Amino acid sequence: MSSFLHQRQPLNIPSNPYPISPRSLTVSQRPFSIFSRTGLLVLLSLMLVLGVFFPWTGMPQGIFTNSKVSLSKWRDYTLEQAASFVAKNGTVIVCAVSQPYLPFLNNWLISVGRQKHQEKVLVIAEDYATLYKVNQKWPGHAVLVPPAPDAQTAHKFGSQGFFNFTSRRPRHLLNILELGYNVMYNDVDMVWLADPFPYLQGDHDVYFTDDMAAVKPLDHSHDLPPPGKKGRTYICSCMIFLRPTNGAKLVMKKWIEELQAQPWSKAKKANDQPGFNWALNRTAAQVDLYLLPQAAFPTGGLYFKNETWVQETKGSHVIIHNNYITGFEKKIKRFREYGLWLVDDHALESPLGRL
């Protein structure tokens, strides 16, 4: 499998700077003046550059057949192929990303790379632009599970499009479990400060973090917390680790059922997180659940809002989640304020480079 995938690398556009040279040769044999030939070459190079950066836009047919074919091959790349390509030691790290989130993906990837886990990352692209962009820079590390959700409507937090987009998450995770891998899911508005894997102790089915901002004792229980005000817990669907056990699969199946049973409505403007919490509630007796330590995996509602707590727990933080705030600009601003927006100065640590 890996050799099959490595064969795809030469098709990557940047490593093949002259995909149109046979055509330009044909052109130059015709009795054109030097000036117009140069002009034509400049025009062709310009179009090539545009084709490289925006290969999904409808560039003129013909000239870009090569690059289009090489990129469109990723359309047929399956989750099974992708998981087998990236998995190390039976484990994959996944995120689900659409185009507007690419800067966050890049930022998160830099932090993952610093903990030496980048190679296990599989980006589940939620649109074709993202699929092509990531695989062009980092062949084999993005996959799209069709059908792609409608890109125009998927981004606004609380909208039906956003609900549809996040509803795909438990399906992706269940698919990967069915293939037999351990899987860690992360939202990409996260930054790793340390390696989370040593915290995945024991043989539990599902590991998760609490999204409640209330401070817990350092030696808090690792059981599912008691339900909160709305009768359910506030476990975050942002960072989940699953072993390929019947228990973990059961939780994913319940999550899918919960999302179907309580679809999005204008009044509730739900996301997928309540569904995850109901799934945990319903399966708690049959599944081995494990709440990760708050000091290592704090919600943004605690980390960004309680400086006293941050000082008290200094040195224990592992993954920081930029939640309890909405909007790309606000999230970036806050990451910058806390020195966690790494893409400005460290883009080269990301396999995607500068975007």
Ligand X SMILES: *[C@@H]1O[C@H](CO)[C@@H](O)[C@H](O)[C@H]1NC(C)=O
Q: In the complex, what is the shortest distance from the CB of residue 215 to ligand X, in angstroms, rounded to a whole number?
A: 4
The interface with ligand X within residues 80-109 (CB under 6 A) comprises: 89
As a whole number of angstroms, the distance between CA 146 and CA 125 comes to: 10
- Interactions with ligand X, residue window 108-167 (CB under 6 A): 150, 153, 160-161, 164
Structure tokens at 239: 């960072």
Rule CB under 6 A: say whether 178 interacts with ligand X: no
- Distance (Å, whole) CA 264 – CA 159: 8
Report the DSSP beta bridge partners of residue 208. 240, 291
Q: Name which of 150 and 344 has its Cβ closer to ligand X.
A: 150
- Binders of ligand X: how many residues, by CB under 6 A? 17
Structure tokens at 101: 């989130």
- Minimum CB separation of residue 171 from ligand X in Å reads 13
Task: Determine the residue type at 193.
Answer: L
**72 or 306: CB nearest ligand X:** 306
Q: How many residues does the chain have?
A: 355
Which is closer to ligand X, CB of 161 or CB of 247? 161
d(C-alpha 146, C-alpha 57), whole Å: 20
Angle at 183 between CA 96 and CA 317, to 5 degrees: 85
Query: How many helices and strands in the chain, by DSSP H and E?
Result: 14, 9
Give the contact letters, 23-62, x = binds to ligand X (CB under 6 A), - = no.
Answer: ----------------------------------------
Applying CB under 6 A, does 309 fall inside the site for ligand X?
Answer: yes
215 near ligand X, judged by CB under 6 A: yes
Residues 226-285 that bind ligand X (CB under 6 A): 227, 231-232, 281, 284
Q: Are 258 and 279 in contact (CB under 8 A)?
A: yes
State how far the Cα of 251 lies from the Cα of 282, in Å rounded to an integer.
Answer: 9
Using the minimum distance from each CB to ligand X, give the nearer residue, 64 or 241.
241
Q: Select 39 or 90, whichever has its Cβ closest to ligand X.
A: 90
Residues in contact with ligand X by CB under 6 A are 89, 150, 153, 160-161, 164, 215, 224, 227, 231-232, 281, 284, 306, 308-309, 312
